[in-house]
Amino acid sequence: MPNLPEFSSENYNIARYVIASLITVSGAFLIYEVLFNTDLTFSANWNMFKSPLGEICMFIGLFCAIIFWGKMGHWSRTPVIEYRDSSGRLIEAKEDMDITEQGFAKFLLPLIGHFIIEPIVYGALIYYPIQCIIALVGSIFPYVLSLIVIAIIVGSWLFTKNFNFRYHSIVLVLMGLFLTGAFAWSGYVLHKADPGSTIQTLADKPTVTVNANITESTDQELSENQNEFDDAATATDSEEDDQFEGVGEEGLFGSLPIGTTEFVGDMAGFPIEFSITKNDDSGDVSAVYKNVKYSTVMNLSGESLPAMGGDINFYGNDNGTNWTFSLSGTAENISGTAQSGDGKELKVTLQKK
């Protein structure tokens, strides 16, 4: 077996300090991204019927129902006809021989019990303890991950000096390259990700992300979008006075009070929060969109013109994609659509909070 090179004691200490420093720098970068730049928390989904994990648990529950056949009873019943007098006292009871009653009580009911109710019960007994663990761990996951990285960093300073086995120099170099690369690459991925990105678990339906494809915009993107809107909406002072005259008395805009009004609702079935701020009666209005699931936010600029009958259009930008919210209704109930620049249109309904 060929002899592999080993550092001398002095060179090994130098290499150990260099590698530990690299691990420390890359680990600190990863910790910063985990704690301050990305939301790596994940939450439980308490609706088992809207979770792929729930479907798996119910499938396992079906096998449990077969294995433990009869533990919850056999579900069959004997249909009975009761004869009572005018005072309600039971005179006679006998089995109902009607074929429909017999078929339901002795055939259909056992099938429902054994193959629908029992799998759901067994699946729930598996699913909800898992969700309890997810709810407990999900909120502290970034801190647990940070502690693990810190422990590795401390270990790289304290324990590598005690490496005295054969080829310890090779192990030190490989370990340093691996950990430095892993920390740096993970931090870079998180840095390039959306600031509000969240871990998606088996507890969430994958289709949810389609409806939740609005993430927090950067300040620069919002500024660019605001400038575009301002350029398109700018007119002379006299034209603006004529244009906005009477806006405050009509439709949704007219029903909104001066100040901020909070709304809750859904967009294509996905829960959202929507805050509308009306500054005055001239048509000056803005809003803040919030994704309830992922806690992401998008600031919106709005306009309401007499020709729109008091309806309000809000404009925002999601990572280069322009969004237009066209809303109508009253200060209590709002409906409308959210349309993206690529043609996607989602239904929006809001109620006053």
Calpha distance 112→170 (Å, rounded): 64
Residue-level pLDDT at 208: 40
Calpha distance 80→199 (Å, rounded): 55
How many other CB atoms sit within 10 Å of the CB of residue 2?
3
Residue-level pLDDT at 212: 40
pLDDT in tens, the chain (353 residues): 455 556 666 777 788 889 899 999 999 999 998 888 766 667 788 898 988 888 889 989 898 888 888 787 778 888 888 888 888 888 888 888 888 888 888 888 888 988 899 999 999 999 999 989 888 887 788 888 899 999 999 988 887 777 676 677 788 888 889 999 999 998 888 888 655 444 545 555 544 443 444 444 445 655 666 666 566 555 444 444 444 444 456 788 888 888 889 999 988 777 899 999 988 766 678 999 987 776 778 889 888 876 677 889 999 987 777 889 999 988 889 999 998 887 888 889 999 98
Calpha distance 133→135 (Å, rounded): 5
Q: Which residues of 48-61 are buried (b: 16+ CB within 10 A; e: fewer)?
A: beebebbbebbeeb
Q: In Å, how far from its chain's centre is CA 105?
A: 44
Listed by start position, the domains of the chain span 9-43+140-192, 48-138, 219-352
Calpha distance 235→146 (Å, rounded): 53
How many other CB atoms sit within 10 Å of the CB of residue 344?
14
Q: Which residues of 131-165 are buried (b: 16+ CB within 10 A; e: fewer)?
A: beebeeebeeebeebbeebeebbeebeeebeeeee
How many other CB atoms sit within 10 Å of the CB of residue 14?
11
DSSP per-residue string spanning 235-274: --HHHHHHHHTTGGGSHHHHHSPSEEEEEEEEETTEEEEE
CATH of domain 219-352: 2.40.128.120
Q: Which residues of 280-297 are buried (b: 16+ CB within 10 A; e: fewer)?
A: ebebebbbbbbbebbebb
Closest CA to 202 of 133, 260, 292, 289: 133
